[in-house]
């Protein structure tokens, strides 16, 4: 078992189906719920209400995003893959029979070519440290997607992460005891180019720029009073809906597109 797999097995056992296990640690829950809600919105936009519509969730965890999809789009078939067996077990326990997961590596998906109508990967490529591994995962994602099928990729951006961490100051203040496995951030031009290399096109990029820039304020307000933090987050959400195309300073960027026919 390699370092990344062991990390996620341990994390899944520690946090179970708690959101902090798959998003930000040591922040108020309303912040992670905000991020998760935004990520879900990106995915929901490509789902069709068709009885035989098949969706793949790569790096599915316990079903944080698959679960709401099953509830909002009854009749669709949702599949998940994850490297942590405990997350796979939690996924199947909570979502079966509408959702079904198996343990698999994103670089070697156990599905035939052109099988899914839609695929998505959310904050999973960032744990593949080399460009070769990232390319393999994207190639596999698009291999199993039907021609004309839709995809969503949500990953951390290089500039946004620098802004979010105040140029790395936050990490230094937290200290070595909080260091986890290495994770990478992506330049949007690079990720779009890799997707294009494997026969698909990115049609839109979206972000949460104001959330990223104002994160430290959001964090302080949420720690002082959850209600005040929630109100401020709602205002941030309204603003980010108008600013989403200005994705460059965003912590996360969503890449939405289609596989060439």
For residues 234 and 180, the answer to whether their CB atoms sit within 8 Å is: no
| For residue 176, pLDDT beyond 60 | no
Q: Which of 76, 71, 23 is nearest to 46 (CA)?
A: 76
Q: How confident is the model at residue 49 (pLDDT cuts 50, 70, 90)?
A: confident
| For residue 180, pLDDT beyond 70 | no
Q: How confident is the model at residue 175 (pLDDT cuts 50, 70, 90)?
A: very low
Among residues of the chain, what percentage have pLDDT more than 90? 84
Q: For the chain, give the mean pLDDT.
A: 93
> Strand 116-122 vs strand 54-58: parallel, antiparallel, or unpaired?
parallel
Q: Which domains does the chain have, with CATH numbers?
A: 3-259 (3.40.50.150)
For residues 185 and 129, the answer to whether their CB atoms sit within 8 Å is: no
Q: How confident is the model at residue 177 (pLDDT cuts 50, 70, 90)?
A: very low
Q: How confident is the model at residue 139 (pLDDT cuts 50, 70, 90)?
A: very high
Is 97 in a helix, a strand, or coil?
A: coil
Is 128 in a helix, a strand, or coil?
A: coil
Look at 234 and 181; give whichever has higher pLDDT: 234
| For residue 67, pLDDT beyond 50 | yes
Count the neighbouring beta carbons within 10 Å of the beta carbon of residue 51: 8
Model pLDDT for residues 194-213, shown as the tens digit of each residue: 999 999 999 999 999 999 99
Q: How confident is the model at residue 173 (pLDDT cuts 50, 70, 90)?
A: very low
- Element containing residue 72 per DSSP (H, E): helix 66-72
Contacts of 109 (CB under 8 A, 6+ apart): 56, 58, 81, 140, 141, 143, 144
Contacts made by residues 98-105, CB under 8 angstroms, sequence distance 24+: 98/70, 98/74, 99/63, 99/66, 99/67, 99/70, 101/57, 101/60, 101/63, 101/66
């Amino acid at each position: 078992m390699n370092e990344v797999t062991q990390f996620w097995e341990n994390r899944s056992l520690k946090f179970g189906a708690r959101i902090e296990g798959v998003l930000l640690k040591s922040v108020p829950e309303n912040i992670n719920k905000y991020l998760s809600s935004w990520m879900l919105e990106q995915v929901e936009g490509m789902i069709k209400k068709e009885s035989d519509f098949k969706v793949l969730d790569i790096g599915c965890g316990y079903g944080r995003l698959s679960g709401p999809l099953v509830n909002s789009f009854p009749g669709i078939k949702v599949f998940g893959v994850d490297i942590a067996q405990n997350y796979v077990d939690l996924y199947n326990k909570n979502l079966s029979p509408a959702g079904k997961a198996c343990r698999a590596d994103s670089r070697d998906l156990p599905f035939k070519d052109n099988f899914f109508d839609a695929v998505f990967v959310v904050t999973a490529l960032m744990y593949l440290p080399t460009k070769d591994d990232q390319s393999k995962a994207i190639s596999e994602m698009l291999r199993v997607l039907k021609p004309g099928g839709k995809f969503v990729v949500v990953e951390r951006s290089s500039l946004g992460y620098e802004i979010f961490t105040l140029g790395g100051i936050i990490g230094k203040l937290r200290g070595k005891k909080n260091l986890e496995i290495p994770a990478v951030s992506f330049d949007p031009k690079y990720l779009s180019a890799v997707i294009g290399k494997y026969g698909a096109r990115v049609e839109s990029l979206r972000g949460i720029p104001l959330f990223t820039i104002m994160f430290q304020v959001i964090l302080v307000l949420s720690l002082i009073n959850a209600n005040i933090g929630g109100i401020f987050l709602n205002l941030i959400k309204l603003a980010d809906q108008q600013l989403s195309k200005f994705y460059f300073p965003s912590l996360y960027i969503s890449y939405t597109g289609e596989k060439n026919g």
